Structure formats: structure tokens, C-alpha cells
């Protein structure tokens, strides 16, 4: 009996050994957990960019529909919502309008159908005034947080935060190039929202949320002049699409010089 007890006691941990193991686990956890967060966020950024690339492919295919030879290259109005241009036939789903990071931070859930997309369940801005030769211009990008419009400077990065600090966002250009753009407060940034090239790529005043219905164009013969109008959703108060100037060709008919 004594021999058996001695064998068991030789195989057991002492209190000191157990404390050493716990200390090693604690040290490793402290080293790995911060990196684990960064790795998960990088994976979400890739997923977010994949969503935007999928939307870009869909709107590009929309402009190539052989059944409608008068279509512009990209939809000139909203993508989703009650009057949205896109349908499920293009292989797009409401989940593609959701940024994974923003969904976790703000509790954003996808709409049930494309027609039900609103500014509260879409995470991306759409630049609706682009032409085929605007290859280096941004056409789709992350919002600056819920119900917002992205812009140069501090109006960027709200979809992807670390703590409460905006880190940046994804953009997709007309030519199909997708990339990550850091916020101005991210150290050691090589491509940030204030770079001259990025500022030029954002050059536009016609920014739609995915669901926004553009205001009706003025009737021919009216005295209305082009102006920046409210987008109509009642939540941003200000910026929206530019109205058509009577006397000039419609935007769908004229070619950009």
C-alpha cells in the first residue's frame, strides 16, 4: 500500500509547479490576446472589402445588360430600397451591405430583402455619378459609422474602430481596385484619408446611401438650377445628389469629357 502511494505522489504536481504553469499561461495570454484582436479585425476588413467588391461586380454587370441598350454604365440612383436598381438576379444579397466590424460594434443587422434596405441596415456609401472613364475615383466605400456619409479628414473610419478610435475603411474604385485606407489618427500610415491621391479619388458631391431615393429632377423649362439637395431620408440634413440643369443633356445621355 505504501509503495502505491509513493508512486502516485511522485507523479503529482507540487504547489510550486502548479503556480509556475499558471504564471506561464497568464504571460502567454497577455502576449497573444492583443494580437488575436488584430487578427480578427484584419479578417473582418477582408470580409468587408469582399462585400464591396461583390457590389461593384453587380453594378458593373447591371450596366452591361444587353436587354437595355440605354442604361448608363452604373445605376444613377439608389442600389437598394423600395426603388432600388439592383435585384437578386445579379447575385447580390442584403448581407453584402453589412460591414462585419460595424455589425459587431453597432448591432447592425441585414435587411430581409433588397427592397427593405434602409440607411439603418446598410454600411456602405455609393457614389452614383461615376462614368466608365472615372477609373481612379471611388464608387463604393465604408460609411463613417451608422447613418453617415464618408468624407475626407475626420469623416472617415467610423465603421472600423479600435476602442472608440476610428482606424480606417475600405474603398473600391470605378476600375474595380479595392484597398484599405487608414484614418488620419493611425500612426505609421502609408495610405491615409488625407493623402493627395485618396483625396482626388473621393472627388465628388454625389454620394448616396445604398437605399436613398434621389430627389426628382426639375421639369423641363423650369428655372431650377443645379444645387446640392437634402438626400430625403431626414437623418443627415444636407448633402445629396445634384439636380439636373434644364437645357443641358440628361446625365445618362452626355459623355463626360
123/142 Cα distance (integer angstroms): 6
Number of structural domains (the chain) is 1
- Residues recorded for the chain: 257
**Residue 156 resides in a domain:** yes
Residue with cell 488584430: 38
* DSSP secondary structure letters along 169-214: EEEEETTS-EEEEE-TTSTT-SSBTTSHHHHHHT--S-EEETTPPP
Asked whether residue 108 is assigned to any structural domain, the reply reads yes
At residue 132 the predicted structure's pLDDT band, cuts being 50, 70 and 90, is confident
Residue 251 inside a domain? The answer is: no
Per the domain annotation, does 152 fall within a domain?
Answer: yes
User: DSSP strand E in 53-183: where?
Assistant: 124-127, 138-142, 160-162, 165-173, 178-182
pLDDT tens digits, one per residue of 34-80 = 777 788 999 999 999 999 999 999 999 888 877 777 788 899 888 98
Residue 111 has a CB neighbour count (10 Å cut-off) of 21
Q: Is residue 255 part of a domain?
A: no
Report the predicted TM-score, pTM, of the whole model to 2 decimal places: 0.70
Q: How confident is the model at residue 18 (pLDDT cuts 50, 70, 90)?
A: confident
**14 domain residue, yes or no:** no
Specify the residue for cell string 439636380. 243
Report if residue 122 sits inside a domain: yes
Residue 244: inside a domain: no
Read off the pLDDT of residues 187-209 as tens digits, 9 standing for 90 and up: 777 789 988 889 889 876 555 55
- What is the residue range of 147's domain? 39-209
Q: pLDDT value at position 187?
A: 74
Average pLDDT, the chain: 77
Amino acid at each position: 500500500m505504501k509503495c502505491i502511494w509513493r508512486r502516485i505522489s511522485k507523479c503529482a504536481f507540487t504547489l510550486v509547479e502548479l503556480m509556475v504553469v499558471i504564471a506561464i499561461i497568464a504571460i502567454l495570454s497577455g502576449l497573444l490576446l492583443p494580437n488575436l484582436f488584430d487578427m480578427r479585425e484584419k479578417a473582418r476588413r477582408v470580409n468587408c472589402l469582399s462585400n464591396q467588391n461583390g457590389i461593384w461586380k453587380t453594378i458593373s454587370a447591371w450596366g452591361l445588360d444587353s436587354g437595355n441598350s440605354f442604361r448608363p454604365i452604373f445605376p444613377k440612383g439608389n442600389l437598394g430600397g423600395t426603388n432600388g436598381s439592383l435585384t437578386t438576379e445579379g447575385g447580390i444579397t442584403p448581407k453584402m451591405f453589412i460591414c462585419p466590424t460595424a455589425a459587431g460594434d453597432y448591432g447592425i443587422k441585414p435587411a430581409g430583402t433588397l427592397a427593405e434596405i434602409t440607411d439603418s441596415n446598410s454600411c456602405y456609401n455609393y457614389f452614383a455619378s461615376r462614368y466608365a472613364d472615372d477609373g481612379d475615383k471611388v464608387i463604393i466605400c465604408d460609411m463613417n459609422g451608422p447613418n453617415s456619409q464618408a468624407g475626407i479628414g475626420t469623416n472617415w473610419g467610423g465603421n472600423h474602430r479600435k476602442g472608440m478610435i476610428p482606424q480606417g475603411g475600405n474603398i473600391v474604385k470605378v476600375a474595380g481596385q479595392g484597398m484599405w485606407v487608414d484614418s488620419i489618427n493611425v500612426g505609421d500610415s502609408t495610405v491615409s484619408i488625407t493623402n493627395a491621391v485618396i483625396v482626388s479619388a473621393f472627388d465628388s458631391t454625389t454620394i448616396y446611401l445604398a437605399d436613398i431615393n434621389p430627389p426628382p429632377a426639375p421639369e423641363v423649362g423650369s428655372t431650377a438650377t443645379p444645387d446640392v439637395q437634402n438626400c430625403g431620408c431626414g437623418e443627415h440634413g444636407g448633402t445629396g445628389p445634384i439636380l439636373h440643369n434644364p437645357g443641358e443633356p440628361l446625365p445618362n445621355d452626355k459623355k463626360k469629357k
